[in-house]
Structure 1
Amino acid sequence: MDAPREAHDAAPPTTPDAAPNAVDELGRPTGTWAEKDPHGGVVQGEYVDGERHGLWRHRSDAGALRSEGHYDRGRLTGPWTWYRASGGVLQRGELLDGEKHGYWQRFTADGTPIDEGHFDRGRKSGEWTYYHPDGTVRRTSVHRGHPPQAG
């Protein structure tokens, strides 16, 4: 059950100086932007009406892809994947308004699964499977998630 190697290039990141980094008539970021990340590297994607929107990628200073995922009008929403320096998948899953929501998987450096299961608005929900270092199932557990909402 190895984590698939994601097909991503190690192209050098676009530097903030090389990206258009335009602003609209209201002074809001618009179009393609590349920004230095305070943790190192560069993040690049599109701004719409001053908010991150669509696919954004974070690359290390050396150009290796560190993460990629989607924004919907400034909110982390949709599929996201984080990569190890080696290029292997560290973790991947879905986000909804910035919270883990949906199916998630985490992997060791050699691609063996660590755990997998679902999140419900930031909380583990339903059955989760946890693995031994050799990839065999260590245990499963059931999480309740959020209580039903009244109304």
Structure 2
Amino acid sequence: MSTPPTPDEKDAQGRKTGLWTDPDPHGGVMVGEYVEGERQGTWKHFFADGRLRAEGGFDNGTVHGEWVWYRSSGGIMQRGGFDHGRKHGTWTRWNAAGELIDRGDYASNKKVGEWTTFNPDGTVKRTVTHAARR
């Protein structure tokens, strides 16, 4: 029976492995797993006071999959997806009062299709259509 790895360990090649807590430039930390020196799986980013700031996935060290960012008040600020480091899929943002600001899709880091901006009462302020770029 092997002993589970302790946090913040390195493998025989000196690469980060297992569960790590990395400091961030904003005074908080990011917590997640390293595999062969690369961030992998779900990571959580915390404000300096320990509240959740963001969470989402990594694949071989690159942001991948859905991410959610939170305000210091705890409400959701935005939600969106990545495809290996590039914004991809539906992105949605909310203001500090929790009201929808806008929503639309990205494909390979470019806005595509209909993007809708909302008034504070939830009615549509405007809709803009972005052509798919090559």
Shorter-chain-normalised TM-score: which range? over 0.9
CA distance in 2, matches of 1:61, 1:117: 31
RMSD (CA atoms): 1.0
From 42, 61, 66, give the equivalent of 2:48. Answer: 61
Identity, % of aligned positions: 50
**TM-score, length-scaled by structure 2:** 0.93
The ranges of structure 1 where at least 4 consecutive aligned residues each deviate by more than 3 angstroms after the TM superposition are none
1:117-151 Cα shifts (integer Å, max 9, x gaps): 1001111000111101222100111101322xxxx
- 1:1-151 correspondence runs (5 A): 20-147=7-134
Number of equivalences: 129
* Distance change (3 Å), C-alpha of 1:40 and 1:145: farther
**Unaligned regions of 5+ residues in structure 2, if any?**
1-5
CA distance in 2, matches of 1:122, 1:50: 26
What SS does the corresponding residue of 1:128 show, helix, strand or coil? strand
1:98-122 Cα shifts (integer Å, max 9, x gaps): 1110000000011111000100111
CA distance in 1, matches of 2:35, 2:10: 10
CA distance in 2, matches of 1:123, 1:145: 8
